[in-house]
């Protein structure tokens, strides 16, 4: 039988494991310009065994947490933003299926994202021409600073390192 103290320790450890720091900068949101007219797809639940129908074109994508607890207000936490530039969104999605399984070359922070929240992750994408993918991804990352991303603009990287985020 678990003691009340053990239960508190377990709860505290679980909170640590599932904690992330989100940077919420209203100035970045206000300054963000959507010069590409991005139209994001509806969210699709991450399921590596039955991948969703993903477009076979270039674009940007996001992995998000969308709590599905009954009675809670709707919300979405964008964890990671990426791009498919030299490959299609469908091909890039398949690379994530391999990373979620821990294939050789897997980035540990991405594996960790799937390990911690795989059952609650959702995927969205927006079509962007391959010529504009870099700029669109960079702009979304700068506006949202998703916590599982590791690379931002030179200024954001410097500020994050100086104040303990990266």
pLDDT for residue 40 is more than 90: yes
- Quick one: average pLDDT of 95-122? 94
Split at pLDDT 50, 70, 90, the class of 71 is very high
Q: Please give the DSSP secondary-structure letter assigned to residue 4.
A: H
pLDDT for residue 112 is more than 60: yes
Please report the pLDDT score of residue 166 as a whole number: 55
Lowest mean pLDDT among 3-17, 27-41, 89-103, 120-134: 3-17
- Quick one: average pLDDT of 33-45? 95
Please, are residues 88 and 58 in contact by the beta-carbon 8 Å criterion? yes
pLDDT for residue 60 is more than 70: yes
Please report the pLDDT score of residue 1 as a whole number: 78
| Interatomic CA distance for residues 10 and 86, integer angstroms | 44
Query: Which of 82, 64, 94 lies closest to 126, judged by CA?
Result: 82
For the chain, what is the mean pLDDT? 91
The length of the chain in residues reads 166
- Quick one: average pLDDT of 22-28? 93
- Quick one: average pLDDT of 84-97? 95
Please report the pLDDT score of residue 90 as a whole number: 94
Please report the pLDDT score of residue 154 as a whole number: 65
Split at pLDDT 50, 70, 90, the class of 122 is very high
**Between residues 52 and 102, the one the model is more confident about:** 102
Q: What is the pTM of this model?
A: 0.89
CATH 3.90.550.10 fits domain 33-48+55-157: no
Domain residue ranges in the chain: 33-48+55-157
Residue 83: φ, ψ to 5° = -135, 155
């Amino acid at each position: 039988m678990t003691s009340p103290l053990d239960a508190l320790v377990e709860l505290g450890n679980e909170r640590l494991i599932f904690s992330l720091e989100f940077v919420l900068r209203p100035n970045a949101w206000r300054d963000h310009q959507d010069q590409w007219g991005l139209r994001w797809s509806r969210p699709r639940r991450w399921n590596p065994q039955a991948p969703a129908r993903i477009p076979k074109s270039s674009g940007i994508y996001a992995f998000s947490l969308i709590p599905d607890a009954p009675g809670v207000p709707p919300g979405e936490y964008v964890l990671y933003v990426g791009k498919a530039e030299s490959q299609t969104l469908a091909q890039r999605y398949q690379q994530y299926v391999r990373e979620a399984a821990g294939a050789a070359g897997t980035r540990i922070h991405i594996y960790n994202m799937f390990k911690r929240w795989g059952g609650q992750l959702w995927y969205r994408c927006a079509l962007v021409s391959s010529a504009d993918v870099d700029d669109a991804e960079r702009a979304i990352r700068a506006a949202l600073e998703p916590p599982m991303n590791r690379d931002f603009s030179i200024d954001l990287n410097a500020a994050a390192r100086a104040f303990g985020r990266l």
